[in-house]
Structure 1
Amino acid sequence: MKPVYFPVHPALQAFVSHIMVVDVRLDGPAYSRLAPFPPTPQNCLNFYPGDVTRSRQGQHAFHDLPACTIVGPQTTKVDLAMGPRHRFVSVAFQPGGLFRLLRLPLHELRDAPLNGADLLGPELREVSEKLQAATQPQALKNIVEAYLLRKMSPAATSPFERAIKLLLSGNPAYAIDDIAALACLSNRQFERKSHDVLGYSPKFFARLVRFSKAYRLKVNQPQASWTTISHRSGYYDQMHLIRDFKAFTATTPKLLALEMLNSPLKIQAGPRL
């Protein structure tokens, strides 16, 4: 089964991009095939109501992910190993959406997936139990969406949130100084707020957006050359792209593409930025 992408209730659209549902039975020995997940600028709230999903960062050992996992700012590649029945419900936030939910400085969560129930309370355990009993993708989405509607009261987006979406567009015509001005902040204030709301500096966030666009293009268009992808992603040249791939994944574009090709699930094509 391919991932199913659901739009969210209008009251959530300023803060949540979409909800993705995967429900699939995987062939072969359990936890034998890995799915690589390079860094992405999109924060997520992930539910695993099926078999336990295991995760590792770099060369560290695998560990079991909580039934509900908060994925904040990410700067390194993560590998996931999945059981035979892989069920996955992912809430993909707009920039600033996870900050609105948690009200915690996101730079404190960098590269540290956390148990959602520890930060958001016992209600999340009830959500996880309902997801385990649900059978249809629409029902899984509805359960999570109802929780978000209770937790995230409707509110207008801030000038900062509107401005940061220009960085998310990856358009090089937007200079950081101009975006800070649109956010009604000085450069120093914009930098400080970015660390709290996004988990990174504005320049690092823009770099991560560009890198994410490059590897998603390769997933969606595997026949495209890396030279073509580097130009379409906003890199000066292919060497510029290779440096970012080594920094964010500790490997080369070619080797990462092979890992993705052998992945049991091709959901790296998301996030839908």
Structure 2
Amino acid sequence: MGFTYFLPEPSLQHYIENIIIVNLNLNEDFVKEITIVPDYRSCLCFILDDKISVIEKGQRIERDNAIFASFHLFSTIMNLGQKHRAVCVQFKPIGWNSLMGNVPQNELLNNCYDAKLFLGSYTNTLTERLAETSTAAMQNHIIQSFLKERLSKLKMPSPFDKAINTFIQSSGKLSIEETASLSCLSLRQFERQCNYKIGVSPRMFGRLIRFSNAYKAKEQHPNMSWNKIAFHCGYFDHMHLIRDFKQFSGTTPSITEDEDHFRSFPYDRANNDFRLINSTLVKN
């Protein structure tokens, strides 16, 4: 029970960050209603038990069994139900745009969609196959086979795609001008490509990377001070970190640290079961 992470196969690694198998029986040991803070990666999720629901504009909305969640610029309150089983594909920033044949990402920002809008009737078949499979390893095999089939005809990564990957690896510290140069585009062309392929401007994307990295660093190293995290994640000072926390989480770093219901996707803090699997390597 818990979270199992599978690394994508080599042919998928340019597009996919992780395959995440979630298996939770929610009781007093885990917060059922959580606040998910923003992340710069989008996600395709197949919910296999108990539909999830979210709070939007004061109303509870039940999600579909298979959803695509674009990345959000604000936190989302989510109820996971009593038993939460899911298979999630966490995409790299240009991954979903590539998979779906260049769907403009700025039109999908801050929303969740029924996966049928993108995958058609095969969505139900895929969800049923995943639900009927009892092991995480087989679920991973099913979803990666599907992804390889969808991505097999794609062209090689473009200079823009490679430049964005370099920008992420720098934790958003590489300047916009340098990143545009790596992409072989003018600054204006690069900004247009960012809005189309990623969904936001390069500067907003850099802020989201830094915020996400800072939040995950605190989850993984709860004893590390916010000042030290701010320095390592590329913030000028602590006040810049606070500004981004207020924009993206709606509150301050100290409050997100104290309140257990604040989580990053996939809502696994340091004390939860963690396994990263690549071939036969398993860490408990």
Q: Above 0.5 in TM-score?
A: yes
Q: How many Å separate the matches in 1 of 2:267 and 2:66?
A: 21
- Secondary structure of 1:99's aligned partner: helix
Question: Which residue in 2 is equivalent to 1:60?
Answer: 58
Q: How many Å separate the matches in 1 of 2:219 and 2:149?
A: 35
Question: What stretches of structure 1 of length at least 5 have no aligned partner?
Answer: none
Pair 1:46–1:173, CA change in 2 (3 A): closer
Is residue 92 of structure 1 aligned with residue 93 of structure 2? no
Q: Is the 8 A contact 1:7 1:18 kept in 2?
A: yes
Superposition map of 1:173-252 within 5 A: 174-252=174-252
Superposition map of 1:1-273 within 5 A: 1-28=1-28, 33-57=32-56, 59-102=57-100, 103-153=102-152, 154-171=154-171, 174-260=174-260, 266-267=267-268
- Secondary structure of 1:87's aligned partner: strand
Output the amino acid matched with 1:16: I
Q: By how many angstroms is 1:111 displaced?
A: 0.6
Output the amino acid matched with 1:34: E
Q: How many Å separate the matches in 2 of 1:160 and 1:182?
A: 7
Tell me the C-alpha RMSD between the 2 structures. Answer: 2.3
Q: How much identity, in percent, do the aligned residues show? A: 31
Superimposed CA distance per residue, residues 45-72 of structure 1 (whole angstroms, 9 cap, x where no aligned partner): 1111111111234x53221111111111
Choose 20-29 or 40-49, whichever is displaced more: 20-29
> TM-score normalised to the size of structure 1?
0.91
Q: Is the 8 A contact 1:36 1:260 kept in 2?
A: no
Choose 176-185 or 59-68, whichever is displaced more: 59-68
Pair 1:33–1:146, CA change in 2 (3 A): same
Output the amino acid matched with 2:91: F
Q: Is the 8 A contact 1:37 1:268 kept in 2?
A: no
Q: By how many angstroms is 1:32 displaced?
A: 7.2
Q: How many Å separate the matches in 2 of 1:197 and 1:207?
A: 17
Q: By how many angstroms is 1:262 displaced?
A: 7.2
Q: How many Å separate the matches in 2 of 1:201 and 1:62?
A: 31
Pair 1:262–1:118, CA change in 2 (3 A): closer
> TM-score normalised to the size of structure 2?
0.87
- Secondary structure of 1:49's aligned partner: strand
Q: How many Å separate the matches in 2 of 1:35 and 1:143?
A: 29
Output the amino acid matched with 1:47: F
Q: Is the 8 A contact 1:73 1:107 kept in 2?
A: no
Question: What stretches of structure 2 of length at least 5 have no aligned partner?
Answer: 277-284
- Secondary structure of 1:3's aligned partner: strand
Q: How many Å separate the matches in 2 of 1:111 and 1:212?
A: 16
